[in-house]
Amino acid sequence: MRKKLRVESGEWRVESKSRKSGTESRNPQKNSPLSTLHSPLIYGVLPILESLRANSRRIEKIYVAEGAREKRLSEIYDLARQSGVLINRISRENLAGMVEPDANHQGVIAVSASANYISADEIFAAITGNALLVVLDGVEDPRNLGAVLRSVEGAGADGVFIPERRAVGLTETVAKSSAGAIEYVKVAKVVNINRLIEELKERNIWTIGTSAEAEMDYTDWDWTQASALVLGGEGKGLHRLAAENCDVLVKIPMHGKIESLNVSVACGVILFEAKRQRKEKVVSGKR
């Protein structure tokens, strides 16, 4: 019986059979759907199946050529659905443009992450002292995510949470933009940012959102407490519900003509203020 798939924003949220091909990491052709991602690719039914089964590296997204045989791909659909991987249908021409001309892609190509994720519980378990975490509510630009990871690593924060959907993952562009920080920063994907905010509260971690309309300056918050900085995506800022669920909203005062800073710059500014306060508290405590 044919499985019914739900389409959301042009992408198929899905979900395993076989034959051989391979993997490669390359810059896709100009008109490729991946031209801005530059992520390692896995192509062919069997290699993708085995990657999903073994879960040895995170599959970010799967592209399927229009007209591909559904029966042969059914197990891939099932495993992708279980892992929360998105499936996107594109033309056979665009799919072929993602790999070398002689590649036996069999109508299916997967995009794998350039670094491994860990679970939210693993991030929480590794925290020593008062937590300093970053939650990203829909950052889509890989260079911004890379720059955020660089700031997080430089400030010695405990980890980053990103949503599973409608946000960039750990692509090669992110890795390059992070200047190596991607190898050291703990990153977890979560299904729902608002549920994560509630869990942070339950763990006695304050959730501090950013908003240009906030009444409190970021320097007025006591960052020596266990804190999670919640940042919105490019242009839109925090989603309304995320902003409402945060314990407090803060702003970075702007003194020029523009209204706000880039998300990665804002992240760095606030994280290093948090580290300044924490260091100052340690120093004053020794006096």
**Which pLDDT value is given to residue 17?**
32
Sequential pLDDT tens for the chain (287 residues): 333 333 222 333 333 333 334 544 444 444 344 433 456 788 888 888 888 887 656 788 899 998 887 778 899 999 988 887 889 899 989 998 888 888 888 899 998 887 888 999 999 999 999 999 999 998 999 999 999 999 999 999 999 999 988 888 888 788 889 998 998 999 999 999 999 999 999 999 999 999 999 999 999 999 999 999 999 988 788 999 999 999 999 999 999 998 889 999 999 999 999 999 999 988 877 65
**Which pLDDT value is given to residue 256?**
92
Query: Strands 132-137 and 227-232: what pairing?
Result: parallel
Domains of the chain with bracketed CATH: 6-112 (3.30.1330), 120-286 (3.40.1280.10)
Q: Which long-range contacts (CB under 8 A, 24 or more apart) does 79-83 make?
A: 79/15, 79/16, 79/49, 79/52, 79/53, 80/14, 80/15, 80/52, 81/13, 81/14, 81/15, 82/15, 83/52, 83/55, 83/59
**Which pLDDT value is given to residue 83?**
81
The total number of residues shown for the chain amounts to 287
**Which pLDDT value is given to residue 71?**
79
Is the distance from CB of 53 to CB of 82 less than 8 angstroms? no
E strands within the chain?
Answer: 6-8, 11-13, 22-24, 41-43, 59-65, 86-90, 108-112, 132-137, 159-163, 187-190, 206-210, 216-217, 227-232, 248-251
> How many whole angstroms separate alpha carbon 177 and alpha carbon 195?
29
CB atoms closer than 10 angstroms to residue 44: 23
**Which pLDDT value is given to residue 38?**
52
